[in-house]
Structure 1
Amino acid sequence: MDVKKIESLAKLMKETGLTGLELVEDGQQLRLERQVEVVAAPVAAAVPAAPVPATGAEALGVTHEEPAPVKEGTLVLAPTVGVFYSAPGPDARPFVEVGDQVKKGDTLCIIEAMKLMNEIPAEVDGTVAEICVGNGQVVEFNQPLFRIV
């Protein structure tokens, strides 16, 4: 493997946000890993707040919305980094669509990783309630792909 190819792979990793890449070519193996910079924001000391009289929307009795409830069902997570494909080919019908009944082991999609096509099976019986990614989208390890109820 030449240095220019390794540099282009490192650049690709940075541009796409990948943190790891493994390549086997002509009997040679290369593993690249990238550290993600985490910047910690300074935390201010807690100061007890003085009561503030109600104004604006609060004075009119308008309240803040509650956070959205957690969606029920089982998430199917990406087992690897790669490209998500919803169908076996460009002109083929998708493996599953929202509302389809699936059985444990049914193929839901394909993730292409390192030119290998990995079929992703359903982990439970149920109904496809949500498809969390789009066809051709790059997915990360443990990214939700489907929600099955």
Structure 2
Amino acid sequence: MTTRDPDEPDSLVSGEAAEYRALTEAIRDLIKVMHEGDIGRLEVERGDLRISLTARELIAPPTNGVQPQIPPAITAGPPPAAVPAPAPVVDDHLYVVTSPMIGTFYASSAPGERPFVQTGDEVEAGQTVAIIEAMKIMNEIVAEQAGVVEAILVTNGETVEYGHPLMRLRPLS
């Protein structure tokens, strides 16, 4: 028993059926070429056969007369220099290193590496204490003043927001 294409007209005999299948396969291939090549219109002529294909345009939803503002493209440049984290005072003796941006907190320069700082470590002013990854760029977070790390307030790989407290330091002087 043979299987029949449900789209194939009943009146076709076996030779015409093969020709019909070849033609529909060729049309599918042309549609694929149009889609992959971003082609809007395609015409093919062969003997007395002419095929004309036109891609449908996508209809955008109504905008109520307001066009969305598209920000300018950001061009890649050199990675930013170390960003000093603001250091708001928590009490008379401690200050907090906070995140200057939204991103992912990393305690070390690479997985499995020793953390930049640990609780109890002495930190110098300008020393890197963490990294915040934002948009695939690693931004060093530096201490604004010397101190001893009292507490690290986030875990490695945690997402942080602008101003999010990262660690508390007790000043040396």
TM-score by length of 1: 0.53
1:99 aligns with 2:120: yes
Amino acid at match of 1:147: R
Q: Which has the higher contact order (CA 8 A, sep 6+)?
A: 1
SS of 2:100's equivalent? coil
CA distance in 1 between partners of 2:156 and 2:94 (Å): 22
Q: Give the CA deviation at 1:91.
A: 1.2
Amino acid at match of 1:83: T
Amino acid at match of 2:169: I
SS of 1:147's equivalent? strand
The aligned counterpart of 1:148 is 169
1:96-130 Cα offsets, whole Å, 9 max, x none, are 00000000000000000011100000111010001
Q: Give the CA deviation at 1:24.
A: 4.7
1:124-147 Cα offsets, whole Å, 9 max, x none, are 101000101000000000010010
Select the residue among 114, 129, 151 that pairs with 1:108.
Answer: 129
Select the residue among 56, 75, 78 that pairs with 2:99.
Answer: 78
- The verdict on how the C-alpha distance between 1:118 and 1:23 changes in structure 2, with shifts beyond 3 A counting, is farther
CA distance in 2 between partners of 1:26 and 1:96 (Å): 33
Runs of 4+ with deviation above 4 angstroms: 22-27
Structure 2 unmatched ranges of 5 or more: 1-70, 77-90
- The verdict on how the C-alpha distance between 1:114 and 1:23 changes in structure 2, with shifts beyond 3 A counting, is farther
Aligned residues: percent identity?
A: 44
The aligned counterpart of 2:66 is none
CA distance in 2 between partners of 1:114 and 1:121 (Å): 19
Contact 1:23 1:114 in 2 (8 A): no
TM-score by length of 2: 0.46
The aligned counterpart of 1:8 is none
In terms of Rg, which structure is larger?
2
Amino acid at match of 1:111: I
1:129 aligns with 2:150: yes
- The verdict on how the C-alpha distance between 1:72 and 1:117 changes in structure 2, with shifts beyond 3 A counting, is same
1:69-119 Cα offsets, whole Å, 9 max, x none, are x68401011000000000000010000000000000000000000111000
1:56-76 Cα offsets, whole Å, 9 max, x none, are xxxxxxxxxxxxxx6840101
- The verdict on how the C-alpha distance between 1:26 and 1:75 changes in structure 2, with shifts beyond 3 A counting, is closer
